Structure 1
C-alpha cells in the first residue's frame, strides 16, 4: 500500500495539472459513472491528501471525490502534449484537461462524499506528519495510554495518518526503539523525536518520490558498500533486509508479522533493555 508521501505527491500532481481549470471526467470502467458525471465539465478547485486519502473538490459542488488506493490502486499521469492513451485495464476514473490526463485504477474507494461524510472520515484519522495543521499531541494522547506495541500504533491510521510499513520500521530503528514496546512505555521525549523525524523523512519522500532513511555516515559511499538493489528504491536500515547485517552494528536484521505486515528491526540496536525517556 502506498505510504503518505505518495498521496501528497498525487495531490500535488492533480493540482498542478488541473486546479483552476475545467476538466472532462469519465469512468471507463463504469463503477464510478454517476460520480464522474457529476463533476464532468466543472472546474477542479483543489486536491488534498490526508494520510493515505485524497480529496478532490470542484467548483459549485459541495460533494467531494474521495479516493483511497488501498493495496492495489494507482494513478497514471500523462502530459497534455502526449497522445491520449487508450483505456488500458480497469480505469475507474479518468480526468482530462489542458494540463494533461490522469487515470485511476483499482482503488479501494473512489466515491462522492457529502460534507458530513468528509467530516466523519477526517475525524477517524490521526494527525498527518505532512500537513501543517497536524497536532502530534493528538497521537501522543492515544499512544501514551495504550498497551498496544508502538509498531502496531504507528500503523494505525487513527493514531498517525500516512505512516506505512517502511516508515514504521525505519523510524523505530533510527530512534533505537524496540518495536514491541507498549505505547504507554514510550517517553514523551522519544515520541516528540519520532514525530519530528517523520516530518523530515516524509517531506523528503514527497520531494524525491522515494523513501531514504539512511544517515550520511551510513550511505553506500561512506560505508564502501553497494547501493540497495530493491524495487522499492531508496536507502534504508532494516526494511526488507532480513538476515542482512545491520549498517550500524552488523547484527542480522530480523522480521516477524505484526498487525498483518512484516516488521523489520535490529535485535541489538533496538534491544528491549534500551531506555526511552
Structure 2
C-alpha cells in the first residue's frame, strides 16, 4: 500500500567561489510498478493544502498520469511506497517512470535563487550504465541581484548557459539550496571515481590528480570517443551545458551511455548548477 501526496511543483539553486551554483538535493529513487500504483488507496492534499482521498482505480500508468493532471494541472505528485519516494510531474512520461529505475533531482525556486524544475535520470535497459537524462528547468525568475551579491565575479547581465555536475556530499536538511550551502566544503566536488581529474574533481587535492588537472579537457565530442577523459559527474562536459531559450526555459534530454550505475548512486549525491 502507498499514499499519494500532491503539492505545487518547486525549484533549486547553489553557489561556489567564482561561480553561481544551484543545488538539487539527494535524488529520490524511482523503483515502482504500475501494479503497485493500481493497488494503492491514497491520501493526498489538493493545491490549497487540504487533505482528500483519491481512489486510484487506474489500469495503466498512462491513465494514472491523466487522472493526476486532470485533477491537479499545476501540481506534482510525490508517491510513497514504504521509504521510497517517487516524484511524478504532470506532462512528464509517467509510463516510463513507473516501469524504469531512476532518480529525480528537484530544484525548488524558493530556495534556489528562482530556478525551478527537475532533472530526471532513467536507466533505459541497454546496459547498467546507459541512462536517459531529461531536464525541464525554468530560469525566468533567476534572481540575478542575489547572484551578483553572492559573487562579485558574476557581472554578466545576460547569462546564456549553465554548467551542471554531480557532487558527492549533502549536508542540508532541505532538498534544494543555493550559494553558500553549495560550497566545495559542503558538497564535496564532482563525482570522479576513475580519477579523470578535472580541477573540481573530488580527488583534486591528491597527488595523482594534481599531475593531471591542467590537461583535463572534457567535451561532448571527446567524451563520445573516449569516456575516460571526463569525470563521471561532469554532466555538462559529457552532454552539454543548459542553454535556456528565449523564454528562459530548458526542456531537453540526452542519452549518456556511461552514466554512473544505479549501484554507484548514494543518498548524498546532488546536482549543482553553475553560471
**If the TM-score is normalised by the length of the shorter chain, which range does it land in?**
under 0.3
- TM-score, normalization: structure 2? 0.26
**By percentage of residues, which structure has more strand?**
2
**By percentage of residues, which structure has more helix?**
1
- TM-score, normalization: structure 1? 0.26
Larger radius of gyration between Structure 1 and Structure 2: 1
